């Protein structure tokens, strides 16, 4: 067996500040992409976002993807008339866009082919076929992959975005059950480093899975990810699409969910601000529960379902994120995302080093 260097994850590194920074205030830093959005995507999970409430994320400058539980009956017209990203299964995508039906000149479509195994040759061949037909009128997001070489294969097929990371997500148990995976921080870094050895235009890298805190997102960007996809983090926001429940006062510590509530009502929002406790349902999209909802044949689950306590409002989380990212960029003398992504130096650290600052 080939001997390989150990791979690392986000807690194994710290970003190193620049020797000198010309930035006097983090307010002078731009954390937005070219469309005036944050470098963030919602995971296409029905306990995060849906058709009815996707605009809540967009209003907070987060790219939102409508999940397959909402789009399973979508037609060609539904996909082409909806302004924004929609997730489709591979079969559904092929049925709708593999036929070569023409798009009118003014239409731009954004499709996330939402499958667990982005290494399939069938996926690569289909992406190449539809991009030959639709070019920039159809933006295609694919994945998930856990091999740097696969990223370059999908880029060569002209995928626009590639989700990298398998088994890392809080709603995913693939690595636990199958032993398949690749530490996400190393995967991002290895892809970024190998770009210099390849010719052509590259897909945007979307780091997907296991993002637990602000620093994970910032480190992923510093290592070379163009965007970060979050599921569990956004599920913990009061406004996420997951069913929301009040704390059950019959149980000590209120740790068991009670009655379902409307998280978008003024009453619940006010109660949360005043300290009331609420819980969210969170589930991976490969759980048997979702399989049944999609009408798929039930197979072994590679996802988890759990109840998570609501921790913040989406607006409050975004405000903090902008401050922390701006601060990190000011330390590294990065005035915008283009000068930050993949550029800062970083160091591997020991467990004792992590324990010192991981309060």
Three-state helix/strand/coil letters over the chain = CCCCCCCCCHHHEEECCCCCCCCCCHHHCCCCCCCCCCCEEECCCCCCCCCCCHHHHHHCCCECEECHHHHCCCCHHHHHHCCCEEEECHHHHHHHHCCCCCCCCCCCEEEEECCCCCCCHHHHHHHHHHHHHHHHHEEEEEEEECCHHHHHHHHHCCCCEEEECCCCCCCECHHHHHCCCCCHHHHHHHHHHHHHHCCCCCCEEEEECCCCCHHHHHHHHHHCCCEEEECHHHHCECCCCCCEEEECCCCHHHCCEEEEECCCCHHHHHHHHCCCCEEEEEECCCCHHHHHHHCCCCCCCCECEEEEECCECHHHHHHHHHHHHHHHHHHCCCCCHHHHCCCCCEEECCHHHHHHHCC
Provide the pLDDT confidence category of residue 167 given band limits of 50, 70 and 90: low
Residue 65 clears pLDDT 50, i.e. is over it: yes
> According to the model, what pLDDT value does residue 288 have?
43
pLDDT digits over 243-261, tens only? 899 987 665 455 567 889 9
Higher pLDDT among residues 248 and 324, named by residue: 324
Give me the residue spans of the domains in the chain. Answer: 25-238+315-344, 244-312
Residue 39 clears pLDDT 90, i.e. is over it: yes
> According to the model, what pLDDT value does residue 316 have?
97
Report the alpha-carbon distance of residue 221 to residue 205 in Å, rounded: 10
Residue 290 clears pLDDT 60, i.e. is over it: no
Report the alpha-carbon distance of residue 183 to residue 162 in Å, rounded: 16
Residue 327 clears pLDDT 70, i.e. is over it: yes
pLDDT digits over 187-204, tens only? 999 999 999 888 788 999
> According to the model, what pLDDT value does residue 38 have?
98
Which pTM value belongs to this model? Answer: 0.89
Average pLDDT for 318-341:
97
Residues with Cβ within 8 Å of 86's Cβ and at least 6 positions away in sequence, in order, are 65, 66, 71, 74, 78, 79, 110, 111, 112
Percent of the chain predicted with pLDDT > 90: 70
Return the minimum-mean-pLDDT range out of 95-104, 265-274, 325-334: 95-104
Residue 279 clears pLDDT 60, i.e. is over it: yes
Report the alpha-carbon distance of residue 315 to residue 358 in Å, rounded: 25
With CA atoms as reference, report the closest residue to 188 among 174, 214, 209, 212: 209
Residue 353 clears pLDDT 50, i.e. is over it: yes
Average pLDDT for 89-93:
95
Q: Which fold has domain 25-238+315-344?
A: TIM Barrel (3.20.20)
């Amino acid at each position: 067996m080939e001997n390989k260097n150990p791979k690392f994850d986000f807690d194994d590194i710290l970003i190193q500040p620049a020797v000198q920074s010309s930035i006097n205030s983090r307010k002078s830093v731009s954390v937005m992409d070219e469309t005036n959005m944050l470098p963030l995507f919602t995971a296409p999970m029905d306990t995060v976002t849906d058709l009815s409430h996707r605009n809540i994320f967009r209003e907070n400058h987060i790219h939102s993807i409508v999940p397959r539980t909402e789009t399973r009956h979508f037609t060609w017209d539904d996909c082409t008339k909806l302004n924004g990203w929609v997730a489709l299964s591979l079969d559904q995508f092929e049925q709708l866009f593999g036929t070569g039906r023409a798009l009118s000149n003014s239409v731009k479509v954004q499709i996330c082919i939402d499958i667990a195994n982005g290494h399939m040759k069938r996926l690569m061949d289909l992406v190449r076929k539809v991009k030959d037909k639709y070019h920039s009128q159809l933006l295609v997001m694919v994945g998930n992959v856990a091999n740097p070489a696969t990223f370059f294969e999908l880029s060569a097929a002209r995928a626009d975005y590639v989700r990298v990371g398998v088994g890392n997500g809080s709603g995913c148990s693939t690595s636990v059950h199958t032993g398949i995976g690749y530490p996400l921080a190393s995967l991002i870094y290895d892809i970024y480093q190998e770009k210099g050895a390849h010719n052509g235009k590259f897909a945007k890298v979307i780091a997907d899975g296991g993002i637990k805190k602000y620093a994970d997102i910032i480190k992923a960007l510093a290592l070379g990810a163009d965007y970060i996809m979050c599921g569990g983090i956004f599920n913990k926001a009061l406004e996420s699409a997951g069913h929301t429940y009040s704390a059950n006062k019959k149980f000590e510590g209120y740790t068991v969910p009670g009655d379902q509530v409307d998280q978008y009502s003024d009453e619940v929002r006010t109660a949360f601000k005043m300290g009331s406790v609420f819980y969210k349902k969170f589930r991976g999209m490969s759980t048997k529960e979702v399989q049944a909802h999609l009408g798929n044949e039930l197979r072994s689950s590679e996802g988890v379902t759990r109840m998570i306590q609501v921790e913040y409002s989406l607006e409050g989380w975004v405000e903090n994120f902008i401050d922390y990212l701006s601060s990190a960029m000011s330390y590294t003398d990065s005035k915008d995302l283009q000068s930050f992504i993949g550029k800062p130096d970083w160091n591997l650290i020991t467990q004792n080093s992590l324990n010192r600052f991981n309060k």
